[in-house]
Structure formats: C-alpha cells, structure tokens
Amino acid sequence: MKSISKTAVGLLFALAAGVASALPVNLVSNGSFESGLTGWTIGGTDSQGFPPVAIFYNSAAGYPTGAFGEAVPQNNAPTNSPDAVGDRAAYFVSDRTVNQSLSQSITVSTGGMYQIGFSAYAPANGYANFYDATFSGVIATVQLANYAVSTGPVTTWQTFAGAADLLAGNYLVEFVFNTNGVPAKDVVIDQVYVIAGNPPVGVPEPGSLALLGLGLAGLAAASRRKQKQA
C-alpha cells in the first residue's frame, strides 16, 4: 500500500506540473483583478465620484468592496482565461459617467493568431435601476462587446471571445462605461485574457488533455503492477 501511494503521489505531482506548464500565458496583466486594479488605468469622467473598483465575490458589502449590498457570484461562464476566477472582479457603477474606462497596454512579442476574451455580469440591484448604461470592450483592436446593459441578461455571467491575427507590437485593452441618470445600471467584468492560438472556448488545450491521459494511464499501470506483486 505504501509503494502504491508513493507512486500515485509522484505521478500526480508530475501531472500537475505538466498541465501547469501547458497552460497558455495571459498577455493581460492582472486580468482577473486579484491585485485590485493594479496594471489598469482609469479614464474618462465621473461627476458622481464612484470610480471602477475591484469588488469581492459573494460579499454583501457596500461599495467599494462589494456591489452595494448584492453578493455577486464567481464567474461560471465558459472561458479560456488561464487565470483562475479568484476572489475579485472589476465593478462599474457610477450613474454619471462619460467614457469611464479601464485600460492597459499589452505587448505581443510574436505575431500570429491570438484568442481574446472577457466575462461580464449585470447585478440585479443595478439592473433594476431606471436609467440604462452602455458598455463596450475592445481588445487588440477587436470590439468584442458594445451593448446597452438593459438588452443583456441579468445575474448571469456571459463570456465575450474572439480571435485576431496580430503582428508583433503593442495593443490596447479597454472597457468603456457610459451612464447619464440616477440611478443607472451597473456592470461587473472578470477574467480578461489574450492567449496564443484559438482553442474552442471552454475546452482544455490539447497538450493539457494529453498530459492528463498519460497521467491517468500511468496511475492505472502502477496500480496493476502492485496488485500482481501482492
């Protein structure tokens, strides 16, 4: 039993290391907002004084750590972001904004096909507000989203994803929020990403699947050998 356990543990560690190394690299810094808004720049104007903030999931706290008393659930929409969903997300909430934005510049070192994406959510308390809000998301010159919050789902995470054939260079990642009435609707975003390649959204990379299969096969073989020796 001890030998089997040691073999299994060793294989599992090797498998975990292999899968981790096979994960794509996110060119977006702090794409899951686990470090607050570090790496992001706030732009536009806000006459109400409620800039975008990184709130905590499942917290019924008030602004700036929560969505004014509503507990927002973790992102559960399919996504190819290599970053874990974590504990935080970015929250746009001001009722009087003109092109309020979160943005950052990314660097593509090697030209080729890249997948881009992010996830968005409309809290119920903001969705119930009388005035609408508009939201847009542009990543590496591709407009992934541009909509009135009232036309989208409420309390449901959705992923916006696409692909772009990029040359080496610097590109802008930018989200823009506009409102003009008190009270207005809100938006939460998370897991912003740019990765090399264009795998189907929500499907593990082929390398990860292969490593997983090899790891499971190794565990099964080790178990059979030990059973024969017993």
Helix (H), strand (E), coil (C) string for the chain: CHHHHHHHHHHHHHHHHHHHHHCCCCCCCCCCCCCCCCCCEEEEEECCCCCCEEEECCCCCCCCCCECCECCCCCCCCCCCCCCCCCEEEEECCCEEEEEEEEEEEEECCCEEEEEEEEEECCHHHHCCCECEEEEEEECCEEEEEEEHHHCCCCCCEEEEEEEEECCEEEEEEEEEEEECCCECCEEEEEEEEEECCCCCCCCCHHHHHHHHHHHHHHHHHHHHHHHHC
* Per-residue pLDDT at 18 exceeds 50: no
Q: Where are the domains of the chain?
A: 1-23+205-230, 26-204
pLDDT (mean) for 83-110: 98
C-alpha to C-alpha distances, 174 to 15, 22, 41, 62, 94, nearest whole angstrom: 36, 28, 9, 26, 17
Q: Is the CB of residue 145 less than 8 Å from the CB of residue 176?
A: no
- In DSSP terms, 158 is beta-bridged to 120
Q: What is the pLDDT of residues 114-145, one digit of tens each?
A: 999 999 999 999 999 999 999 999 999 999 99
The CATH code of domain 26-204 reads 2.60.120.260
pLDDT for the residue 22? 65
User: Count of H helices and E strands in the chain?
Assistant: 3, 10
Comparing 45 with 220, the larger pLDDT belongs to: 45
Residue 68's pLDDT band (boundaries 50, 70, 90)? Answer: very high
pLDDT (mean) for 71-95: 98
Residue of 183, 90, 84, 73 whose CA lies nearest to 137: 90
pLDDT for the residue 23? 79
**Minimum mean pLDDT range among 18-22, 50-54, 172-176:** 18-22
* Per-residue pLDDT at 220 exceeds 70: no
pLDDT (mean) for 49-65: 98
pLDDT for the residue 203? 54
* Per-residue pLDDT at 13 exceeds 50: no
Q: What is the pLDDT of residues 179-188, one digit of tens each?
A: 999 999 999 9
